[in-house]
Amino acid sequence: MSSNGESKCYFIQLQIDGYLDGDLSEAQQGGFMSHVQDCAACATEFRYAQTMHDAVMELPQIECEDFVLEPVHSLTAAGRPKHDEVSRDSLVTQIAGLLNTVPLYFRFGFSAALVAVVAVAVTFTGLTPTDEPGQQVASEPVEQFSQEDVALALQELNVAIDYLNQLSQRTEVMIGDRFLVTPLQDSINASFERARNRENDSFQNGPI
């Protein structure tokens, strides 16, 4: 077979599927048929393709017996699908979709603001006194203290307060000496020293 014939056969065999699907034009069908009737190799190839095509299309649809779907029926017989899950999913999806449409800085800003609002709300909730304090007290076990215990506790508290006062005074003195009194004294002394030096100079140099 010449190279021209081989390329013709190659081209014809590329058209086999198109012919079997009915996608070729009338002119293409005519050229295809005339070549296949004259060329033994292409005729064999076409017959093989047609056999394969017919065999695939003849494969039957397989029946789905009822027993296959019994587990499905038993599962779905319990009732309707869980709508809560569906609605929760859709709500989350909607919020996510909404956030995705806004700029990045707004998303971070929105998240930060949300956290701040929650934090403030929690703080104020914790600090707000209850309307009926008696209920809160009553809900906890009450411990009974004697007067001596109270006096002893007050005494310890006063000792602690005295200690903190002394500590505060020492700290104040240290801070004052180091950062206020000492620099001030140094500054005053320096001023006097400069004044004294100027007096000495004026005596030494005399009037102009």
Partner 1 sequence: MRALYQQAIDQHRHRVLSFARYSLRVREDAEDVTQEVFIKLWQHWQKIDHEKLGAWLMRVAHNSVIDHVRKQRPQQTNLDQYAEVEDQVGEESDAAQLDQQHFKSQLQTAIKSLEDPFRSIVIMRDIQGMSYEDIQGSLELSASQVKVYLHRARRKLRENSKLRQLFEEQIANRSEVKQPIALVANNDKGSGHVQ
On whether the CB atoms of residues 99 and 107 are closer than 8 A, the answer is: yes
Q: Which is nearer to partner 1, 14 or 104 (CB)?
A: 14
Q: Which is nearer to partner 1, 60 or 134 (CB)?
A: 60
Contact status: 27 vs partner 1 (CB under 8 A): no
Residues 35-74 close enough to bind partner 1 by CB under 8 A: 36-37, 43-44, 46-59, 61-64, 68-69, 71-72
Contact status: 33 vs partner 1 (CB under 8 A): yes
Contact status: 127 vs partner 1 (CB under 8 A): no
List own/partner pairs for 189-196 with CB under 8 A and 24 or more apart. none
Q: Which of 4, 83, 134, 205 binds partner 1 (CB under 8 A)?
A: 83
The Cα–Cα gap between 13 and 21 comes to 14
On whether the CB atoms of residues 20 and 36 are closer than 8 A, the answer is: no
3-state SS of 122-171? Answer: HHHHHHCCCCCHHHHHHHCCCCCCCHHHHHHHHHHHHHHHHHHHHHHHHH
- Interface region with partner 1, contact rule CB under 8 A, candidates 15-23, 114-122, 131-139, 185-193: 15-23
The Cα–Cα gap between 17 and 49 comes to 8
Closest contact distance (angstroms) between CB of 72 and partner 1 is 5
Contacting residues toward partner 1, per CB under 8 A? 17, 19-22, 24, 29, 33, 36-37, 43-44, 46-59, 61-64, 68-69, 71-72, 75-76, 80-81, 83, 86, 90
